Structure 1
Amino acid sequence: MLKENLSLSQLFAIIIGFNVGSTFVVILGISAKEDAWISILLSTVSGLIIVSFFLLINELAPSKNLFEIIEFAFNRVIAIPITLIYTLYFFYLASRVIRDFGELTSTFILPLTPIEFIDFTLVIIIGYILYLGIEIVGRTTEIFTPYSAIFLFLLVIFLMASDTLSLTKIQPVLARGILPVIKSMFPIEVSRPYGEMIALICVFPLIKNVKLRKKTVLYSVVVSGILLTTSTLIITTSLGITTASRATFPLISTTRLVSIGDFLERIDALAVFIIMLGIVVKSSILIYSGLKGIEYIFKYPYRYFVIPAVCLISMFSVFITIEMNDHIREGGKIVPYFLYMPLQFAFPSLLLFILLIKKFKNKGPSSS
């Protein structure tokens, strides 16, 4: 089995791409209305707590991925069905992310191309990258992630130059109090994307420096939270919360407002690049984590399962929902309660509890 490693800078870029991912497709914190940006900002603080929780699980068995940690806490007989559940969960999330890509591409870039072909093309590319190794994902992300930050900054500059941004669209601040903001955070905005970072427990062991790994992860969560807050702010201050909530792709609708001297217009490519890079990174990590689960169950290198897995994910991404509205409704109202809460919080809490018990039991005899 080939030894894979990631650098700290690659991990930093991967986490930013993972958190941004398909999150830019929709406006976050929409139920908080004009205070959506506050919801995202506070969600970042909650995200730091959640990620620290995942890091603690990994630190109790630093050289093991998620599925090996589950076996370490319980045993292989119990770990296999749990691994299968998490594998299907990661593949399901990847299918949703790829469906976002298909909807975006078929709407703005290739309107005459069937979405089936678009999704299949993407997963074949992702499958090829993963077959070459997770290091390729790290290198690619490390190169292109700075461009996403630069493009988002340019978008802010262009919108300001077009006199499109208006702070009155997010006023008055906290007009309905803090309670609607808190309600918008849980469980959706906290689970997406920070709870989904449980998949990165399969990536953390590839970084050998545990101390710097923790700092890198926390810094990347802060940066991604700033990017998501900035995105929400420019959407709400340009479109207004009513128009933004009705837009299928709010960030792209925002870029269409840019008009500087009747010369610089329709810079949709900037938003499309940001969204597409995040989608590729996030779906790659989710598929990789699922493949590591299959590797654990069958004890064969995950590369043997890459092509069959991505083909099934491509097919499922088409059948997962009928249209974009149903897709968004499922992700915002159904999935968080039936999948996110048990798999992102309930079982990891039990897992951490068992690991802590094992740790104290192992310390007991040595100290006595």
Structure 2
Amino acid sequence: MLTERTFKRDWCGMLKENISLSQLLTLLINFLLGSAIVVGVGGDAKKDAWIAIAAAIMIGFGIMLFYYFLISRVPGQNFFEIMEFGFKRPIAIIFSITYVVYFLYLACRVVRDFGELIASAILPSTPIEIISLTICLLMAYILYLGLEVLGRTSEIFTPYLFGFLFLLTILLFASGNANLYEIKPVLGDGLKPVLNALFPTLIVFPFGELIAFTLILPVVTNFKYCLRVSMLGVGIAGSLLLFAMFLMIVTLGADALQRSNFPMLSSAREVSIGNFIERIDALVVFIMMLGILVKGSVFMFAGLKGLEYTFRLPYRYFSLPVAMIVSSFSILISVNFGDHWQEGLEIVPYFLHLPLQFGLPSLLLITVLWKRRKKKAKPGVKGMKF
């Protein structure tokens, strides 16, 4: 049973929680790869998907700069606390509850992506409910231990991600299954497919989802270097997504790429060297699993911080119940993978991502800038009266 003294110690410990710049970098990389590398992005542009991703990276830098600028206007405060500064607490609580539902819904979608991947491609005899429950319990345990543990986990395993991706590239080209002519002709169908893939899908997924880091950036040590590290993380993750899409195109071709539910996994299954080195699915599954774990945990952490702000209790108290909710609703949000995929492409970007990633934060930024300017102007007005 928690006493008042224990509660205060937990609360103070939570306030002092922070992560290093290197941990922020690895969290950003794995977060942006996350489910994007599982299902592939920019596939609507066919052979020119890599061009769409390259353009999205440039926009991603602007999105990261926007969120950093918002957080830096009220130093030391996270997104929910800044909403209280801008709108006062009663209105901020309404918006906070909205974002809690939004972040946890995104966590459900990420877990569902992972469950579909494992259930259909790796462990077909295992119920998807068991897979979702297992990954959610793992995320709950990590977040109960704290954000620092998530940062260290990401920091430790990220070098393996680079190593496995490099090994996969070598094996694909060594097996002779990579055909560079698959990317030709460049812009054969014009710019329209590229623009269709870019707006809004590639902007809101995965780069717009960086709004979750408005809950992480304020607790980073050496905050003055935060922007540089964040930009570096976006650049590295975007380059890895670009390179992964390039590998998928030259290995599978544009037509097979569009038909595959998990194109990265399909590419890995093309490896066959001397009828000996085959079935290197484990390399790709590791990359996907690490990204899913980090991305799902970041979204769940963002939702937990919203509950912490609303109820004024340490977020660790909510970790296990929220994990159970995410596990359940990851199954209930869609009937099958086709329905899940359609919902993510046709409904979520327009009705959830755009207003909550850019609409409300833009309104909040305008309000904060206006209030800060008004606050600075007050001493001058008083001086004129004298």
Range into which the TM-score falls when normalised by the shorter chain? over 0.9
Structure 2 residue matching 1:270: 3-state secondary structure = helix
Would you identify which runs of 4 or more consecutive aligned residues in structure 1 move more than 4 Å? none
Indicate yes or no: 2:236 matched with 1:197: no
CA contact (8 A) 2:179 2:251 kept: yes
Q: Which residue of 1 aligns with 2:278?
A: 265
Q: Which residue of 1 aligns with 2:221?
A: 208
Q: Which residue of 2 aligns with 1:133?
A: 146
CA contact (8 A) 2:21 2:221 kept: no
Per-residue CA deviations over 1:136-163 (Å, capped at 9, x if unaligned) read: 0000000101211221111111111111
Gaps of 5+ in 2: 1-10, 382-386
Per-residue CA deviations over 1:181-206 (Å, capped at 9, x if unaligned) read: 12211111110111111011000111
Residues in 2 aligned to 1:171 and 1:125: alpha-carbon distance in whole angstroms: 43
Structure 2 residue matching 1:5: 3-state secondary structure = coil
State which of 128, 136, 155 in structure 2 corresponds to 1:142: 155
Q: Which residue of 1 aligns with 2:117?
A: 104
Q: Which residue of 2 aligns with 1:170?
A: 183
Residues in 1 aligned to 2:27 and 2:151: alpha-carbon distance in whole angstroms: 6
Per-residue CA deviations over 1:105-146 (Å, capped at 9, x if unaligned) read: 112322111111111111111101100101000000001012
TM score, norm. by length of structure 1: 0.98
Q: Which residue of 2 aligns with 1:297?
A: 310
Shift of 1:278: 0.2
Residues in 2 aligned to 1:110 and 1:242: alpha-carbon distance in whole angstroms: 26
CA contact (8 A) 1:23 1:193 kept: yes
Whichever residue aligns with residue 281 of structure 1, its letter is V
Residues in 2 aligned to 1:71 and 1:104: alpha-carbon distance in whole angstroms: 40
Indicate yes or no: 2:93 matched with 1:80: yes
Residues in 2 aligned to 1:81 and 1:266: alpha-carbon distance in whole angstroms: 50
Aligned-pair identity (%): 48
Indicate yes or no: 2:298 matched with 1:285: yes
CA contact (8 A) 2:30 2:294 kept: yes
CA contact (8 A) 1:27 1:245 kept: no
Residues in 2 aligned to 1:201 and 1:284: alpha-carbon distance in whole angstroms: 14
Residues in 1 aligned to 2:379 and 2:255: alpha-carbon distance in whole angstroms: 63
Per-residue CA deviations over 1:307-333 (Å, capped at 9, x if unaligned) read: 111101100001111111111111111
Residues 160 and 71 of structure 1, relative CA distance in 2, 3 Å threshold: same
Structure 2 residue matching 1:200: 3-state secondary structure = helix
Query: Which structure would you say has the larger Rg?
Result: 2
Indicate yes or no: 2:240 matched with 1:246: no
Gaps of 5+ in 1: none
Shift of 1:366: 4.4
Q: Which residue of 2 aligns with 1:365?
A: 378
CA contact (8 A) 2:175 2:272 kept: yes
Whichever residue aligns with residue 202 of structure 2, its letter is E
Per-residue CA deviations over 1:237-276 (Å, capped at 9, x if unaligned) read: 1101110111111100000111112211110111100000
CA contact (8 A) 1:70 1:79 kept: yes
Q: How does 1:209-358 map to 2 (within 5 A)?
A: 209-358=222-371
Whichever residue aligns with residue 116 of structure 1, its letter is E
Structure 1 residue matching 2:298: 3-state secondary structure = helix
Residues in 2 aligned to 1:307 and 1:11: alpha-carbon distance in whole angstroms: 24
State which of 27, 36, 39 in structure 2 corresponds to 1:14: 27
CA contact (8 A) 1:187 1:336 kept: yes
Whichever residue aligns with residue 278 of structure 2, its letter is E
CA contact (8 A) 1:62 1:210 kept: no
Residues in 2 aligned to 1:211 and 1:244: alpha-carbon distance in whole angstroms: 42
Shift of 1:367: 5.6
Per-residue CA deviations over 1:191-227 (Å, capped at 9, x if unaligned) read: 0111111011000111132221110000000000000
Residues in 2 aligned to 1:322 and 1:31: alpha-carbon distance in whole angstroms: 24
Whichever residue aligns with residue 312 of structure 2, its letter is K
TM score, norm. by length of structure 2: 0.94
Q: Which moved more, 1:102-111 or 1:79-88?
A: 102-111
Indicate yes or no: 2:81 matched with 1:61: no
Shift of 1:176: 2.2
Residues in 2 aligned to 1:199 and 1:120: alpha-carbon distance in whole angstroms: 23
Residues in 2 aligned to 1:95 and 1:302: alpha-carbon distance in whole angstroms: 18
Structure 1 residue matching 2:231: 3-state secondary structure = helix
> How large is the RMSD of aligned CA atoms in angstroms?
1.0
